[in-house]
Structure 1
């Protein structure tokens, strides 16, 4: 774990809101020079506090109007390795997130599709044919009120 001071925390909050801000703009906001801000960002990246910067796309504007969370229970835990399942499911472009979880299901998947018939196609032809795929529970997202934010 890295020791963070108040400036580091303010810097992380600012980057979590908009990671495209320049070091000079961040520095002005935080009362730091551009080089000092850049050194802090690099230190936070090297320490692993910043894992990367991502572009958030609007899935609906790009034609993906349906988001579904799937709970997947593996049918043959002993015969199919978790790595085989993870590798295969990660190759499906509609699967946006793969989480190995503890509970009723072994995995939770976030899947995007153009519409319900498109989701059914992805489910039947891609997900249900994965090595070891067993029981599946689908939860369609009706609305998303909170976006991921800072820790």
Structure 2
């Protein structure tokens, strides 16, 4: 799908505020409401707009610690990557599971209430998963967000 300047303008406006209605989006890019709806529908059908996200403030919800874990599987032959992925995605504290190339096989984003809660999740849930070998933890100190399309 080829995107024109109006499509890119709509994507930028939605990246800033996904709650904007078609009328306001249209005003921002110079389109009528019906024309804006047609473009949004086309972007959804093409898979460019793949859904809507709710952005929660984890700290206000009581999750004060975010840890990135590098996980290397101990025995790749005995445990399939799919089995590990299925098991780790069932852990509610694990926010993202990324299969990566490099020193580790997976990169996980894990949230916890505090460090002792993270230790509990690590020891009782993640380290008990089939095939887990080496694990490296990196605690998030701060995060800078840069919203918008690439």
TM range (shorter): over 0.9
Gaps of 5+ in 1: none
Question: Is structure 2 residue 74 aligned with structure 1 residue 75?
Answer: yes
Paired with 1:145 and 1:54, the residues of 2 have a C-alpha distance of 18
Aligned residues of 2:73 and 2:131 also touching (Cα < 8 A)? yes
For the aligned residue pairs, the C-alpha RMSD in angstroms reads: 0.9
Question: Is structure 2 residue 121 aligned with structure 1 residue 122?
Answer: yes
Could you state the TM-score of these two structures normalised by the residue count of structure 2? 0.97
Paired with 2:19 and 2:13, the residues of 1 have a C-alpha distance of 10
Paired with 2:20 and 2:84, the residues of 1 have a C-alpha distance of 38
Paired with 2:36 and 2:71, the residues of 1 have a C-alpha distance of 44
Deviations, residues 82-138 of structure 1 (Å, cap 9, x unaligned): 111000000100000000000000000000000000000000000001111110000
Q: For 1:16-35, what aligned pairs fall within 5 Å after superposition?
A: 16-35=15-34
Deviation at 1:63, TM superposition (A): 0.2
Name the SS of the counterpart of 2:149 in structure 1: coil
Name the SS of the counterpart of 1:62 in structure 2: coil
Name the SS of the counterpart of 1:71 in structure 2: strand
**Residue-pair matches, total:** 150
Question: Is structure 2 residue 23 aligned with structure 1 residue 40?
Answer: no
- Classify 1:148/1:140 alpha carbon distance in 2 versus 1 (closer, same or farther; 3 Å): farther
Paired with 1:56 and 1:6, the residues of 2 have a C-alpha distance of 27
Paired with 2:80 and 2:141, the residues of 1 have a C-alpha distance of 33
Deviations, residues 60-90 of structure 1 (Å, cap 9, x unaligned): 0000000000000001101111111000000
Gaps of 5+ in 2: none
Paired with 1:56 and 1:137, the residues of 2 have a C-alpha distance of 27
- Classify 1:33/1:5 alpha carbon distance in 2 versus 1 (closer, same or farther; 3 Å): same
Aligned residues of 2:15 and 2:147 also touching (Cα < 8 A)? no
Consecutive aligned runs of 4 or more in structure 1 exceeding 4 Å deviation: none
Q: Residue 53 of structure 2 corresponds to which residue in structure 1? A: 54
